[in-house]
Amino acid sequence: MQHLTLDLEIGQLLSGPPLACGPDVPVREAARMMSERRYSAIVITEMGRPIGIWTEHDALALGEDAAALSLPIRHAMSHPVRALPASTRLRDAALRFKREGIRHCLVVDGSGRSLGIVTQTDLVMNQGLECFLRLKTVGSVNAAMPLVIDARTPMHDAMQRMRARRLSALVVIYPEGDYGIVTERDVVRLAASGALDGTVGARASRPLRSLSHSQSLYAARQYLVEHRMRHVGVIGEDGSLAGLLDLSHILHDIEDEFVRELQTALRERDDALLASRANLRLADQVVESTLDGVMITDLDGTIERVNPAFTRLTGYTEQEALGRNANLLNSGRQGPAFYSALWRSLRQDGHWKGEIWNRRKDGAIYLEYLTISSICDPSGRCTHYAAIFADITQRRQNEERLSYLATHDALTGLPNRALFTERLSLSLARARRSGKRVAVMFLDLDRFKLINDTMGHGVGDEALTVIATRLREAVRDTDTVARLGGDEFTLLIEDIEDIRHVGQIAQGLLACVGAAMHIGEQLLFVTPSIGISMYPDDAHDPRQLLMQADRAMYEAKDAGKNNFRFFAAPMTSSAMERIVLESELHHALEAGEIVLHYQPEFDVASGALLNIEALVRWQHPRRGLVPPDQFIPIAEESSLIVPLGAWVLREACRQAREWLDEGFDFGRISVNLSARQCMHDGFLHQVTTILSETGLPATRLQLELVESMAMTSGRGGIEALLQELAARGISLAIDDFGTGYSSFKYLQSLPVDTLKLDRSFLADVAAPPRLMQNAARDRSIVRAIVAMARSLGVTVVAEGVETPRQLEFLREIGCDRAQGFLLARPAPPELMPRALEVCEAG
Return the SS3 of 40.
coil
Q: What pLDDT does 280 receive?
A: 61
Q: Distance between CA 520 and CA 455 in Å, rounded?
A: 11
Q: Distance between CA 769 and CA 210 in Å, rounded?
A: 70
| More confident position, 331 or 258 | 331
pLDDT tens digits for range 38-65: 888 999 998 888 999 999 888 888 876 6
Q: What pLDDT does 39 receive?
A: 86
Q: Residue 779: exposed, middle, or buried by beta-carbon count in 10 A (0-12, 13-18, 19+)?
A: middle
Q: Which residues of 593-608 are buried (b: 16+ CB within 10 A; e: fewer)?
A: bbebbbbbbbebeeee
Return the SS3 of 42.
strand
Using 50, 70 and 90 to split pLDDT, how confident is the model at 686?
very high
Q: Residue 785: exposed, middle, or buried by beta-carbon count in 10 A (0-12, 13-18, 19+)?
A: buried
Angle, vertex CA 221, rays to CA 82 and CA 4, nearest 5: 65
Contact yes or no for 806/766 (Cβ under 8 A): yes
Cis peptide upstream of residue 804 (ω within 30 degrees of 0): no
Does pLDDT of 100 surpass 90? no
Contact yes or no for 758/820 (Cβ under 8 A): no
Instruction: Quote the mean pLDDT of the chain.
Output: 84
Non-local (6+) Cβ contacts of 553 within 8 A are 442, 443, 444, 529, 530, 531, 565
Does pLDDT of 26 surpass 60? yes
Contact yes or no for 617/596 (Cβ under 8 A): yes
Q: Distance between CA 565 and CA 503 in Å, rounded?
A: 9
Contact yes or no for 135/217 (Cβ under 8 A): no
> Angle, nearest 10°, between helix axes 393-407 and 417-434?
70
Q: What pLDDT does 25 receive?
A: 93
Beta bridge partners of 169: 183
| More confident position, 382 or 781 | 382
Non-local (6+) Cβ contacts of 146 within 8 A are 167, 169, 170, 171, 243, 244
Return the SS3 of 340.
helix
pTM of the predicted model as reported, rounded to 2 decimal places: 0.39
| More confident position, 743 or 682 | 682
Mean pLDDT along residues 123-127: 66
CA-wise closest residue to 749 among 724, 723, 781, 777? 723
CA dihedral (138, 144, 145, 151) in degrees, to 10, reads: -90
Q: What pLDDT does 841 receive?
A: 36
Does pLDDT of 572 surpass 60? no
Strand arrangement, sheet containing 303-306: 303-306, 293-298, 382-391, 365-376, 351-359
Beta strands (DSSP E) in 511-647 are 517-519, 522-524, 528-535, 564-566, 594-603, 609-620, 624-626
Element containing residue 813 per DSSP (H, E): helix 804-813
Does pLDDT of 278 surpass 60? no
Does pLDDT of 548 surpass 80? yes
CA torsion through residues 380, 382, 384, 389, sign: positive
Contact yes or no for 494/433 (Cβ under 8 A): no
Does pLDDT of 778 surpass 80? no
Choice among 486-490, 576-580, 607-611 with the minimum mean pLDDT = 576-580
Using 50, 70 and 90 to split pLDDT, how confident is the model at 842?
very low
Q: Residue 4: exposed, middle, or buried by beta-carbon count in 10 A (0-12, 13-18, 19+)?
A: exposed
Q: Distance between CA 126 and CA 93 in Å, rounded?
A: 12
Element containing residue 707 per DSSP (H, E): helix 707-712
Q: Which residues of 114-142 are buried (b: 16+ CB within 10 A; e: fewer)?
A: bbbbbbbbbbbebbbbeebbeebbbbebe
Does pLDDT of 576 surpass 60? no
Q: Distance between CA 132 and CA 136 in Å, rounded?
A: 7
Neighbours of 39 (CB within 10 A): 19
CA-wise closest residue to 736 among 775, 771, 774, 762? 762
Mean pLDDT along residues 143-161: 88
Q: What pLDDT does 187 receive?
A: 87
Largest CA-CA distance found in the chain, in angstroms, rounded: 110
How does DSSP classify residue 137? B
Q: Distance between CA 303 and CA 695 in Å, rounded?
A: 57
Using 50, 70 and 90 to split pLDDT, how confident is the model at 492?
very high
CA-wise closest residue to 455 among 514, 520, 510? 520
Question: Given its phi and psi angles, is residue 435 left (phi above 0), alpha (psi -120 to 50 degrees) or beta?
Answer: left
Mean pLDDT along residues 691-706: 94
Question: Rounded to 5 degrees, what are φ and ψ at 552?
Answer: -65, -35
C-alpha distances (whole Å) from 19 to each of 25, 94, 333, 455 are 13, 22, 70, 62
Beta bridge partners of 49: 46
C-alpha distances (whole Å) from 642 to each of 13, 236, 646 are 50, 49, 6
pLDDT tens digits for range 242-251: 888 887 767 6
Q: What pLDDT does 186 receive?
A: 86
Using 50, 70 and 90 to split pLDDT, how confident is the model at 215?
confident
Q: Which residues of 809-840 are buried (b: 16+ CB within 10 A; e: fewer)?
A: bbeebebbbbbbebbbebbebeebeebbeeee
Q: Distance between CA 834 and CA 836 in Å, rounded?
A: 5
Q: DSSP for 82-124?
A: PEEETT-BHHHHHHHHHHHT-SEEEEE-TT--EEEEEEHHHHH
Mean pLDDT along residues 285-312: 87
Q: What pLDDT does 4 receive?
A: 42
Q: What pLDDT does 578 receive?
A: 67
Rg (CA), the chain: 36
Question: Rounded to 5 degrees, what are φ and ψ at 274?
Answer: -65, -35
Does pLDDT of 836 surpass 60? no
Using 50, 70 and 90 to split pLDDT, how confident is the model at 279?
low
pLDDT tens digits for range 221-266: 788 878 878 888 888 888 888 888 887 767 665 555 555 655 665 5
Does pLDDT of 715 surpass 60? no
Strand arrangement, sheet containing 480-485: 480-485, 488-496, 437-445, 528-535, 564-566
Q: Residue 755: exposed, middle, or buried by beta-carbon count in 10 A (0-12, 13-18, 19+)?
A: buried
Angle, vertex CA 753, rays to CA 751 and CA 757, nearest 5: 120
Q: Distance between CA 839 and CA 820 in Å, rounded?
A: 10
CA-wise closest residue to 432 among 354, 494, 475? 494
Percent of the chain's residues with pLDDT above 90: 39
Amino acid at 721: L
Percent of the chain's residues with pLDDT above 70: 87
| More confident position, 16 or 304 | 304
Does pLDDT of 734 surpass 50? yes
